[in-house]
Chains A and B, each alone.
Chain A
Amino acid sequence: MDDIVGDKNAKFKELYNQDGVFLRQAGEMYTPMFGCTGSLYLWEHISDAESKPEVPSRFLEWRPQDFVELKTALDEGSEEWTLIESVKKRCRTSSGNMVKDFLNSIGNLNVCFSNIKSLRCSKHDVLTTFYDGSCELLASFVFPTSESREHFLGTIQAFVRLQPTRRDKSLFIVYDAASPGFKDLEKSFAALDLKTDSSFWSLLKNIKSNPYEKSMEAFAKVTGYVYNSVDDEEHYMAQDDLQRSISEIGDDASAYAVYDIPNCLPMRVDYPRCNPLTREQWRAQLNGEGQLEDVESIKTLIFRGGISPDIRRVVWKFLLGYYPWDSTEKERHALDISKMESYYKIKMQWTTFSKEQEDNFSDFSQRKSLIEKDVNRTDRVLDFYAGENNYNIFSLNNILLTYLLYNFDLGYVQGMSYLLSPIYMLLRCEVEAFWCFVGFMKQVMSNFDYDQNAMKEQLKSMYLLVNFIDPQLSKYFEDHECANMYFCFRWLLVWYKRELQQDEVARLWEVLWTGYPCKNFHLLIGVAILEHERDALMGDNNGFTEILKFINELTGKLDINLMINHAEGIYHQIKDADHLTDAVRNILGIPVAEASGLQSKPEDDRSPRKGVSEPDEIEFEKSIYSNFLSSSTGRLVFLFRP
């Protein structure tokens, strides 16, 4: 590859040139240059009568800027370097067709463009990585600005098409005119009504904003990947299209194989958040009796957007079981009265204790003092709970003491005051807050059990989910003594209460209280956060200590709406995954029938989709695959054979 431009007379036109491009990684022999900045060029061969056919039509070149640095590295005498030093001088024509004599091109990195079969780039950073047909890394660059990278992507769009893989949105298959399927791709782009010269990301955005109609069509048809959903007609059509296009490609089809790679997740689909449930929407659902007509649709609205603050007071009482969902206005009125009565009955039990009685009841008095100490350090920074002799703190104390007698077996456990605080702050009524707290506690009671088994179980589930969604991250935890996931303890014990502002807590909890879209959705919120922070978590060779600190310091920095959004995307990925395991299914309570696979497959069934390839080739592909998976988070769906 070093000497790909052996022909001195070949003439090249500069298509792209950018200084300040940082080489992050490339083939092993370039190791001494990793971390150097340089100039990145894209050259195009100007063909004329004399040019030899083996001269590549386009190639990338990266030249280190700091030649001195490189020389020093060379003088240290690494053996591999003699190889590079032997690279001959080259002649090229730059854009003006002027022959320029190049210096000894030691260390210049060249990548023949036609070898690039996929590239990885994400909108969030300027790192761009190129891979060849066997998923080996060719080069990985960091562009100086997002504009310069955008320009680069724009430039190459003139002669290739980039198609995001269905399973990993930051990995793109590079199609050039010679690739089978290129024509289909063109057609499909036309069908999407996109201008081919539009900016790269806007192109993607367009696909993303119509997840159902467009992306499925585009991805399934274009990349030939077939969804195996039973109930979706469109996917059957896509399958037909694929077969047709393969037969059209004819002989070339052998060079282009479509695989169902085991343990790949379906592509993440964005489920945009909606506006909160409004008073009007709520009222519209109440019939003459004041009964809710369509509970499921109300819950769906709450799940999708939360509740508008002006009707939270009412709706939370339904979510927390204070009112049954199907109750009438009249029944609710009766409930208000009976709940008040029973609250004061329980409360009376402890308010009437004499000092002597309390002294002889140490189980009670110890817990009482613990409650008092805890309410005195619960949300004191909020105006509502601030200051000496705050009446609201007094109410928290009353409610927790009453709960202590209501459920003496459980007792009072640290963390409970944090679950009560947002509820009382909204309802501002001891009776209502108490019964709503009882409703919430029913859902999370086991978190506070003496043996802590439920917490341990959840931490374990969290690990399994991370492992399913991001095996590289779970492997990292495993290798760094973090597989116990203890750093998520606070998240799970009090449902992220300590990480968020009070209004964010309200939003998250009301979404979680709907019980949609699955059991234990709160775990997926955590998975979304970990995934969102994965690079920081795995940076700097962090161990348990660093990770715990990092997680604890996320307080106040989370975008909870975004995390809910990601968590929902993750849920659908898991649900639709072909390799969904029973363990994961159980955590989220996904019934077997709901899984999208034609039938659930045994876990080690790694056979490819029908009519694709011979078994020995499968082994070969698998081995390449595992390389790819271990070197990056990539979940490539296609393999190109030279």
Chain B
Amino acid sequence: MASNKKVLLKVIILGDSSVGKTSLMNQYVNRKFSNQYKATIGADFLTKEVTIDDRTVTMQIWDTAGQERFQSLGVAFYRGADCCVLVFDVTAPNTFKSLDSWRDEFLIQAAPREPDNFPFVLLGNKVDLEPRAISAKRAQQWCQSKNSIPYFETSAKEGLNVEQAFLAIAKNALAQQNQTVDLYNEFPDQIKLSNAQRPNNGADACGC
């Protein structure tokens, strides 16, 4: 049964500069790709409503600047995250090498309660480009070594696999949230009287 409670899922996208974080987010939320996106400075987020198993949830997707030195400001954005999306560029080997440090940094700064079970999703972006530097197999191996992180190969430019990837991200985030929130949700919603339900007594009470 669908619950009418508003669910907000907070998702953080991390990865080296220009791997396509902003493009992926915009492709997913606005179904658009543009060559004119500006480099992200500071942080921004977009929201999107998604339906998962009859439940409508709001995904709040956070996009931050990719350059390492700006991460010290990350604490403010990471807190309360339900899922972390790691992105690399399949044509740029360095962006793959940085994945470990992105993951570690996130776990340190966000400090989730159970770091080992915190959901990550890996996206290998720009698969429309040649030549490829990182094979799917290599990426999957890395995922295996990190407690079976789900892996998707995407192209923000062509819109390839983006929808599927974000659906998986939403599901993982929701599962994570249910795990932590279930305890507090055992009480029914408070019954509230709306104005319309108020007893109406005498519209002619005004004697003027």
A-side residues, CB < 8 A to B, are 67-68, 71-72, 75, 103-104, 366, 369-370, 373-374, 376-378, 380-381, 413-415, 417-418, 448-452, 455-456, 484, 486-487, 489-490, 493-494, 498, 544-545, 548-549, 552
Contact = CB atoms under 8 A, between A and B. Distances in A.
Interface residues of B, number: 34
Contacts of A75: 199, 201
B143 to A, nearest CB: 25
Given A414-B39, A548-B43, 4 more contacts: A376-B35, A378-B38, A413-B67, A452-B73
Nearest to A412: B67
A34 B69 CA distance: 50
A71 B207 contact: no
Nearest to B16: A370
- Specify which of A67, A377, A484 lies most central, judged by the most chain B CB atoms within 10 Å of its CB: A377
A480 to B, nearest CB: 12
Contact of B72 (A71, A451, A493, A545): A451
B12 to A, nearest CB: 13
B65 A545 contact: no
B76 A486 contact: yes
A414 B65 contact: yes
Contacts of B187: none
B146 to A, nearest CB: 24
Nearest to A455: B73
A418 B38 CA distance: 10
B63 to A, nearest CB: 11
B41 A489 contact: yes
Contact of B73 (A67, A374, A449, A486): A486
A552 B46 CA distance: 11
Given A370-B17, A414-B39, A103 B67 contact: no
A377 B69 contact: no
Contacts of B36: 377, 380-381
B45 A71 contact: no
Contact of A544 (B17, B76, B200): B76
A13 to B, nearest CB: 20
Nearest 4 interchain pairs by C-beta: A67-B206, A489-B42, A373-B18, A490-B42
14 contacts: A68-B205, A72-B198, A72-B199, A75-B199, A103-B207, A377-B18, A377-B39, A378-B38, A380-B35, A484-B76, A486-B76, A490-B41, A490-B42, A498-B41
Contacts of B207: 103-104
Contacts of A484: 76
A552 B38 contact: no
B94 interface: yes
A235 to B, nearest CB: 45
B60 interface: yes
Contacts, number: 95
A292 B39 CA distance: 40
A68 B206 contact: yes
A67 B205 CA distance: 7
Nearest to A450: B69
Contact of A373 (B17, B41, B43, B203): B17
Interface in B62-113: 65-67, 69-70, 72-73, 76-77, 92, 94
Contact of A103 (B41, B43, B202, B208): B208
Q: Name the residue among B44, B69, B77 with the largest chain A CB count within 10 angstroms.
A: B69
| Chain B interface mostly | loop
Contacts of B73: 452, 455-456, 486, 489
Interface in B5-61: 17-18, 35-39, 41-45, 60
Contacts of B205: 67-68, 71
B201 A370 contact: no
B41 A494 contact: yes
Contact of B43 (A72, A413, A415, A486): A486
Contacts of B76: 484, 486, 544
A455 B73 CA distance: 10
Given A72-B198, A104-B207, A549 B18 contact: no
Contacts of B94: 366
A370 B35 CA distance: 16
A544 B76 CA distance: 9
Contacts of A498: 38, 41
A487 to B, nearest CB: 8
Contacts of A418: 39, 41
A414 B45 contact: no
Contact of A414 (B44, B67, B201): B67
B39, B69, B77 pick with most chain A CB within 10 angstroms: B39
B87 to A, nearest CB: 14
Greatest chain A CB density within 10 A among B41, B70, B199 is at B41
A365 to B, nearest CB: 10
A345 B72 CA distance: 36
Contact of B17 (A67, A71, A72, A414): A414
Contacts of A450: 69
B41 A414 contact: yes
A72 B42 contact: no
A418 B65 CA distance: 14
Nearest to B68: A450
A577 B44 CA distance: 37
Nearest to B92: A369
B202 A71 contact: yes
A381 B34 CA distance: 11
Contacts of A487: 42
A545 B198 contact: no
Nearest to B72: A452
B38 A377 contact: yes
Which residue, B60, B65, B66, has most C-beta atoms of chain A within 10 A? B65
Nearest to B204: A68
A374 B39 contact: yes
Nearest to A68: B203
A370 B67 CA distance: 10
A68 B200 CA distance: 9
Contact of B60 (A71, A493, A494, A545): A545
A487 B207 CA distance: 55
Contacts of A489: 41-43, 73
B100 to A, nearest CB: 17
Contacts of B41: 414-415, 418, 489-490, 493-494, 498
Nearest to A489: B42
Nearest to B40: A414
B37 A377 contact: yes
A486 B42 contact: yes
A374 B18 contact: yes
Nearest to B37: A377
A373 B40 CA distance: 12
Contact of A71 (B65, B201, B208): B201
